[in-house]
């Protein structure tokens, strides 16, 4: 069965396929040319005059080429001085054959795709042959090497520059032909590292000729070459190791940043939206998608890629049935099953499942446009990301359950308030109206007095009914944000209590998480309503100040009659009001601190302090 993605006639997809085809044709052309040069050099091979020196140089070449320093989509090595020396001592034919065998062997050991195993040696062979020819032409040394030290240095400079230029030009053409973006910033970094490698190689060869030009006798044995090239090999080992350490540090920092972003956005609908920019620091990919299973149906939570089509829901369902553990596919086009679920623009992939209580509930799908092996360290990083997402998913489930529980508790609270407050008031009003009705004929004045007495209570009940209806609407902070919700509630209270001065000092907090916004709004609303109902205050000051790393400080103060905290807690425990006790419980759930200062006749001040992530980390420490 052919994947539906392979039938995609999207113009963007067609462009990608054309670019990939052009890149493959170019690589095949370079491979054929390089193979022709390497095979042709076999005809001119001569028996080396020193097998021990040649073997030593081959070993050093293998080490310097194997421990390369990765640069974006390629790598740089310090093997040029070694292969230059092989050419100098044993001839170009030996150097070409040696270079081909060593590089091809390294790629084969690394289990690279066949296209890379053939292309990279071919590009190096072409570069070496071209640079040798240009150097001989520039120095006019077709018959023999230059005799003077100056002539040798010029020859070496031309040889080195042309080799690096041609070698990296052949690679850059592939990168430009392929559909993935080749950012200028990455290109400049690549050029700078290549330039450093070229300069280092030239100065090492310069030292080689300067030392060799000194009169040290005719003793040049394998030990001389061993001690001379050992520092170069050491530099290659140290440089490669240092890069790997820095790369691991970047990955660790990326994972930590991703973890912080995920924790910050846990309650949000687009909870994965903040991690795209950090994923590239963790591992290389051309396209990545994260799928989660919701109520038995797969849903795409994140799809990031540079125009590369990724599997759709039907293909993801098939993957979930086949993939039980993390799976790396080095060459999709060679695998009959995987080629049916991936678009042909994807050449290699990694699929990592996520589990919850033994059941698969998510998939991380990584696609690359190059057929390549996924290293074990990359698989560990992908698995670590999957573990983080598993924990975050469980946290999201708990938060959703808690929100549902809070909604139920809020409904029950409103029901109790209606039953204990509005319902009883309306029932009393009905009884009084019935009494007034019976008295209306015989004693109209008494009936009028009853109506006059009942109307204020009835208006108060109507206000409470409106408040209950308002409380059942979607949460204000979800619909319009915290600042607008606070302003709207403040305006409503001002209209209902024109004799009370309400001063609002509020700074917007764009980084405040949704559940924290709800807590701040609930505390603000309950505090200001308590001030209106019970404090007999003529001035209320509301202040909201955002802190660092998602923190916030809410202050509501009034100049009313105040109260004893002990009495307020006793009333709250009876369940008649949301009250101080419930406000404190909600604050504790969010790791916030609620402080209340009040004395009879001295007013009240309520502070809610939500600590930021830095404060929370310091507390944990």
- Listed residues 187, 219, 250: the one ending a domain: 250
CATH code assigned at 453: 1.20.5
Inter-residue contact 71 to 194 (CB < 8 Å): yes
Give mean pLDDT, residues 50-63: 93
Give mean pLDDT, residues 360-389: 86
pLDDT tens for each residue of 30-45: 999 999 999 999 988 8
Give dist(CA 297, CA 295) in Å, integer: 6
Give dist(CA 134, CA 136) in Å, integer: 5
| Residue 256 belongs to some domain of the structure | no
| Residue 529 belongs to some domain of the structure | yes
Residues 218 and 272 in one domain: no
End-to-end CA distance of the chain: 57
Query: How many other C-beta atoms can be found within 10 angstroms of the C-beta atom of residue 420?
Result: 14
Number of domains in the chain: 4
Residues 466 and 481 in one domain: no
pLDDT tens for each residue of 154-205: 999 999 999 999 998 998 888 788 766 666 777 777 788 788 889 989 999 9
Residues 60 and 85 in one domain: yes
Residues 486 and 446 in one domain: no
Residues 147 and 277 in one domain: no
| Residue 381 belongs to some domain of the structure | no
Residues 116 and 229 in one domain: yes
Confidence of residue 511 (pLDDT cuts 50, 70, 90): low
Residues 48 and 87 in one domain: yes
Lowest mean pLDDT among 21-25, 86-90, 422-426, 600-604: 422-426
Residues 181 and 271 in one domain: no
Residues 483 and 461 in one domain: no
Residues 345 and 486 in one domain: no
Inter-residue contact 6 to 312 (CB < 8 Å): no
| Residue 166 belongs to some domain of the structure | yes
Of 469, 453, 460, 472, the closest CA to residue 422 belongs to 460
| Residue 5 belongs to some domain of the structure | no
| Residue 383 belongs to some domain of the structure | no
| Residue 229 belongs to some domain of the structure | yes
- Listed residues 310, 343, 374: the one ending a domain: 374
pLDDT tens for each residue of 388-430: 888 888 887 787 777 788 778 777 877 777 777 777 777 777 8
DSSP bridge pairs for 138? none
Per the rule left: phi > 0, alpha: psi between -120 and 50, beta: everything else, 72 is left
Q: Which domain holds residue 284?
A: 265-374
Give dist(CA 425, CA 429) in Å, integer: 6
pLDDT tens for each residue of 281-317: 788 888 889 999 888 889 888 888 666 778 888 999 9
CA dihedral 130, 136, 142, 147 (to 10 degrees): -150
Confidence of residue 13 (pLDDT cuts 50, 70, 90): low
CATH code assigned at 293: 3.30.450.40
| Residue 285 belongs to some domain of the structure | yes
pTM for the complete prediction?
Answer: 0.60
Count CA atoms within 13 Å of residue 525 on its CB side: 22
């Amino acid at each position: 069965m052919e994947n539906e993605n392979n039938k995609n006639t999207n113009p963007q997809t067609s462009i990608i396929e054309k670019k990939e085809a052009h890149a493959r044709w170019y690589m095949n052309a370079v491979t054929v040319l390089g193979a022709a040069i390497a095979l042709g050099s076999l005809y001119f091979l001569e028996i080396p005059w020193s097998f021990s020196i040649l073997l030593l140089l081959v070993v050093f070449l293998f080490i310097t080429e194997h421990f390369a320093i990765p640069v974006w989509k390629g790598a740089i090595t310090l093997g040029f001085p070694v292969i230059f020396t092989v050419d100098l001592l044993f001839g170009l034919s030996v150097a070409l054959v040696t270079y081909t065998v060593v590089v091809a062997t390294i790629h084969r050991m690394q289990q690279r795709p066949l296209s890379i195993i053939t292309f990279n040696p071919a590009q190096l062979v072409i570069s070496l042959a071209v640079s040798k020819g240009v150097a001989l032409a520039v120095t006019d040394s077709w018959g023999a090497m230059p005799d003077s030290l100056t002539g040798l240095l010029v020859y070496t400079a031309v040889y080195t520059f042309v080799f690096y230029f041609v070698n990296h030009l052949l690679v850059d053409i592939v990168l430009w032909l392929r559909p993935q973006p080749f950012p200028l910033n990455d290109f400049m970094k690549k050029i700078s590292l290549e330039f450093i490698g070229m300069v280092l190689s030239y100065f090492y060869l310069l030292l080689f000729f300067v030392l060799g030009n000194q009169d040290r006798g005719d003793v040049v044995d394998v030990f001389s070459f061993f001690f001379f090239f050992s520092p170069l090999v050491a530099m290659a080992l140290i440089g490669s190791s240092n890069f790997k350490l820095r790369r691991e540090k970047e990955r660790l920092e990326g994972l930590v940043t991703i973890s912080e972003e995920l924790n910050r956005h846990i309650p949000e609908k687009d909870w994965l939206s903040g991690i795209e920019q950090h994923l590239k620091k963790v591992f290389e990919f051309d396209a990545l998608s994260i799928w989660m299973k919701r109520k038995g149906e797969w849903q795409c939570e994140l799809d990031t890629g540079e125009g590369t089509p990724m599997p759709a829901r039907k293909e993801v369902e098939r993957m979930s049935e086949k993939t039980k553990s993390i799976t790396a596919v080095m060459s999709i086009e060679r695998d009959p099953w995987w080629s049916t679920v991936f678009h042909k623009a994807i050449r290699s992939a990694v699929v990592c499942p996520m589990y919850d209580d033994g059941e698969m509930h998510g998939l991380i799908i990584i696609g690359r446009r190059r057929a390549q092996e996924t290293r074990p360290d990359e698989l560990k990083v992908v698995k670590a990301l999957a573990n983080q997402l598993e924990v975050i998913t469980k946290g999201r489930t708990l938060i959703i359950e808690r929100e549902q529980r809070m909604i139920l508790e809020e409904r029950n609270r409103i029901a109790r308030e209606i039953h204990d407050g509005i319902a009883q008031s309306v029932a009393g009003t009905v009884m009084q109206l019935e009494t007034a009705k019976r008295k209306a004929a015989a004693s109209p004045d008494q009936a009028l007095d009853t109506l006059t007495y009942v109307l204020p209570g009835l208006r108060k009940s109507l206000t409470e009914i409106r408040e209950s209806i308002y409380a059942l609407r979607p949460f204000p902070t979800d619909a319009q944000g915290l600042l607008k919700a606070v302003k709207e509630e403040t305006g409503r209270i001002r209209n209902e209590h024109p004799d009370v001065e309400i001063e609002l000092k509020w700074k917007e907090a764009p980084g405040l998480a949704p559940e924290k916004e709800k807590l701040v709004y609930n505390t603000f609303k309950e505090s200001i309503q308590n001030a209106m109902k019970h404090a007999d205050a003529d001035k209320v000051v509301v202040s909201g100040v955002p802190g660092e790393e998602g923190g916030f400080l809410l202050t509501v103060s009034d100049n009313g009659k105040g109260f004893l905290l002990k009495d307020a807690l006793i009333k709250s425990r009876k369940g008649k009001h949301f009250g101080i006790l419930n406000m404190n419980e909600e604050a504790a759930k969010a790791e916030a601190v609620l402080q209340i200062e009040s004395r009879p006749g001295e007013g009240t001040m309520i502070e809610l302090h939500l600590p930021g992530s830095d404060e929370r980390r310091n507390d944990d420490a």
